[in-house]
């Protein structure tokens, strides 16, 4: 095993937590800035909503890493999930689960405007 592989094996868990933390906070700050939130409302929004983003990012990292993905790939997907936000990730998951369970209406594939 070379030194790069050994470094990946010994990667501390705090590094994974910090990566998800930075992804969640920066993603929420970007969305709050886009919405024009300033002052204490910005601080309150970051504290309340970034927690969900961080948890979603960390769970993605752990799930992908336990599924056999490399720590770098799992970390990248986890940070992207944290930045996208828990609401976006959960919305995508809900749509996927609803389609798998057959509880949502799927538009017909041949539906034309004149029919």
Q: Is 44 inside any structural domain? A: yes
Q: Count of domains in the chain?
A: 1
- Structural domain harbouring 71: 13-101
Q: Is 80 inside any structural domain? A: yes
Contact 24, 82 (CB under 8 A): yes
pTM for this prediction: 0.51
Section 21-36 average pLDDT = 77
Query: In this predicted model, what pLDDT tens digit does every residue of 57-108 receive, in sequence order?
Result: 888 888 898 899 888 888 888 888 877 766 676 677 778 888 888 886 655 5
Q: How far apart are CA 105 and CA 115, in angstroms?
A: 18
| Residue 8 confidence (pLDDT) above 70 | no
Inter-axis angle of helices 13-35 and 71-84, nearest 10 = 30
Q: Is 31 inside any structural domain? A: yes
**What is the overall mean pLDDT for the chain?**
75
Section 11-22 average pLDDT = 72
Q: Is 108 inside any structural domain? A: no
Q: CA 99, 102, 104: angle at the middle one, nearest 5?
A: 70
Contact 17, 75 (CB under 8 A): no
Query: In this predicted model, what pLDDT tens digit does every residue of 56-66 receive, in sequence order?
Result: 888 888 889 88
| Per-residue pLDDT, 40 | 82
| Per-residue pLDDT, 5 | 60
The helices-and-strands tally (H runs, E runs) of the chain is 5, 0
């Amino acid at each position: 095993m070379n030194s790069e592989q050994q470094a990946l094996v010994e990667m501390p868990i705090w590094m994974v937590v910090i990566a998800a933390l930075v992804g969640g906070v920066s993603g929420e700050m970007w969305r709050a800035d886009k919405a024009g939130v300033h002052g204490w409302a910005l601080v309150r929004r970051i504290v309340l909503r970034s927690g969900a983003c961080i948890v979603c990012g960390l769970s993605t990292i752990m799930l992908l890493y336990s599924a056999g993905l490399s720590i770098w790939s799992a970390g990248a997907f986890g940070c992207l999930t944290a930045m996208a936000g828990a609401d976006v990730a959960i919305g995508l998951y809900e749509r996927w689960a609803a389609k798998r369970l057959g509880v949502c209406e799927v538009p017909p594939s041949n539906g034309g405007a004149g029919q």
